[in-house]
Amino acid sequence: MLKERTNRILFYFTLFSLLLSGCSLTSNIHNVPVNEKSDLNISKPPKPKTIKINEVDFKKIFFPLGRFGGVLNLTTFGSGPKTFNLWASTDNTSSTLGRLMFDSLFDDDPDTGEVVPHLAKGYEILDGGKTINVKLREGVKWSDGKPITSDDVVFTWNEIVFTGLEGGGFQSLCLIDGKYPSVRKIDDYTVQFMTHVVFAPFLRQIGYPPAPKHIFKPMLDKAGKNKKSIFLSFWGTDTKPDNFVTSGPFRLLRYVQGERIEFVKNPDYYIINIENEKLPYFDRLIYTIVQDASLDLFKFLAGESDVISVHGEDAELVKKLERKKDFKTVNLGPSSGTEFLVFNLSRGLLQQAPTAVWFNNDYFRKAVSHAIDRNSIVASVLGGVGKPLFTSESLASIYLNEKIKDGYPQDLEYARKLLKKGSFRWNSEGNLIDSKGKKVEFTILTNAENAARQTTGVIIQDDLKKIGIKVNLKPIDFNTLIGRSDSGDWEAIILGFTGGFFEPNEGANVWRLDGRLHMFDNKLHKPRDWEIEIDRIFNDATRVIDFKSRKKLYDRFQEIAYEKLPFIYLSSPLRIFAFQNSLGNIRPTVYGGVVYNLESIYRKDLN
Confidence label for 564 from pLDDT (cuts 50, 70 and 90): very high
CATH number for position 554: 3.10.105.10
Domain-located, residue 321: no
Same domain assignment for residues 396 and 523:
yes
Average pLDDT over residues 127-146: 96
Please give the residue that has the higher pLDDT: either 445 or 171: 445
Same domain assignment for residues 406 and 513:
yes
Please give the residue that has the higher pLDDT: either 395 or 605: 395
Range of the domain at 397: 338-573
Same domain assignment for residues 502 and 568:
yes
Same domain assignment for residues 64 and 203:
yes
Residue percentage of the chain with pLDDT more than 70:
92
Confidence label for 249 from pLDDT (cuts 50, 70 and 90): very high
Same domain assignment for residues 440 and 501:
yes
DSSP secondary structure letters along 172-223: HHT-BTTBPPEEEEEETTEEEEE-SS--TTHHHHTT-PPP-HHHHHHHHHHH
Closest CA to 435 of 443, 425, 446, 427: 425
DSSP secondary structure letters along 463-514: HHHTTT-EEEEEEE-HHHHHHHHHHT--SEEEEEE---SS-GGGGHHHHSTT
Q: Taking the CA of residue 356 as centre, how many other CA atoms within 13 Å lie in the half-sphere pointing to its CB? A: 13
Q: What is the pLDDT of residue 135?
A: 98
Average pLDDT over residues 347-375: 88
Same domain assignment for residues 239 and 378:
no
**Interior angle at CA 547, CA 544 and CA 553, nearest 5:** 65
Q: In angstroms, rounded to a whole number, what is the distance separating the alpha carbons of residues 83 and 147? A: 25
DSSP secondary structure letters along 393-428: S-TT-TT--TTTTT-----HHHHHHHHHHTT-EE-T
The total number of residues shown for the chain amounts to: 607
Same domain assignment for residues 211 and 287:
yes
Q: What is the pLDDT of residue 3?
A: 38
Q: What is the pLDDT of residue 31?
A: 42
Which are the contacts of 593, defined by CB distance < 8 A and separation ≥ 6? 110, 332, 575, 577
**What is the domain count for the chain?**
2
Which are the contacts of 226, defined by CB distance < 8 A and separation ≥ 6? none
pLDDT at 271 over 90: yes
What does the buried/exposed string (b/e) look like for 484-506 if buried means 16 or more CB atoms within 10 Å of the residue's CB?
ebeeeebbbbbbbbebbbbbbbb
Domain-located, residue 443: yes
Average pLDDT over residues 372-392: 95
Average pLDDT over residues 152-179: 91
Domain-located, residue 104: yes
pLDDT at 40 over 70: no
DSSP 8-state assignment for residue 277:
P
Q: What is the pLDDT of residue 470?
A: 97
CATH number for position 94: 3.40.190.10
Same domain assignment for residues 262 and 347:
no
Domain-located, residue 583: no
Q: In angstroms, rounded to a whole number, what is the distance separating the alpha carbons of residues 547 and 371? A: 36
Domain-located, residue 320: no
Average pLDDT over residues 539-566: 95
Confidence label for 376 from pLDDT (cuts 50, 70 and 90): very high
Q: In angstroms, rounded to a whole number, what is the distance separating the alpha carbons of residues 88 and 598? A: 24
Angle, helices 547-564 vs 529-541, to 10°: value is: 160
Q: What is the pLDDT of residue 352?
A: 58
Q: In angstroms, rounded to a whole number, what is the distance separating the alpha carbons of residues 31 and 148? A: 47
Average pLDDT over residues 35-51: 71
User: How many other CB atoms sit within 10 Å of the CB of residue 533?
Assistant: 15
pLDDT at 318 over 90: yes
Same domain assignment for residues 429 and 568:
yes
Confidence label for 450 from pLDDT (cuts 50, 70 and 90): confident
Confidence label for 16 from pLDDT (cuts 50, 70 and 90): very low
Kindly give the pairing relationship between strand 71-77 and strand 56-60: unpaired
Same domain assignment for residues 429 and 541:
yes
Contact in structure between 14 and 301 (CB atoms under 8 Å): yes
pLDDT at 1 over 60: no
Which of 196-200, 423-427, 600-604 has the lowest average pLDDT?
Answer: 196-200
Q: Taking the CA of residue 196 as centre, how many other CA atoms within 13 Å lie in the half-sphere pointing to its CB? A: 7
Q: What is the pLDDT of residue 92?
A: 85
Which of 27-31, 380-384, 386-390, 521-525 has the lowest average pLDDT?
Answer: 27-31
Domain-located, residue 342: yes
pLDDT at 30 over 60: no
Same domain assignment for residues 280 and 351:
no
pLDDT at 439 over 80: yes
Q: What is the pLDDT of residue 210?
A: 98
| Continuous segment of H or E residues that includes residue 258 | none
pLDDT at 232 over 90: yes
Same domain assignment for residues 348 and 251:
no
pTM of the model: 0.81
pLDDT at 194 over 50: yes
Domain-located, residue 439: yes
Confidence label for 224 from pLDDT (cuts 50, 70 and 90): confident
To the nearest whole number, what is the mean pLDDT of the chain?
90
Q: What is the pLDDT of residue 41?
A: 55
Q: What is the pLDDT of residues 495-517, one digit of tens each?
A: 999 888 999 998 888 998 888 78
Q: In angstroms, rounded to a whole number, what is the distance separating the alpha carbons of residues 299 and 306? A: 9
Domain-located, residue 271: no
pLDDT at 403 over 50: yes
User: How many other CB atoms sit within 10 Å of the CB of residue 309?
Assistant: 18
Average pLDDT over residues 146-175: 93
Q: What is the pLDDT of residue 7?
A: 39
Contact in structure between 537 and 556 (CB atoms under 8 Å): yes
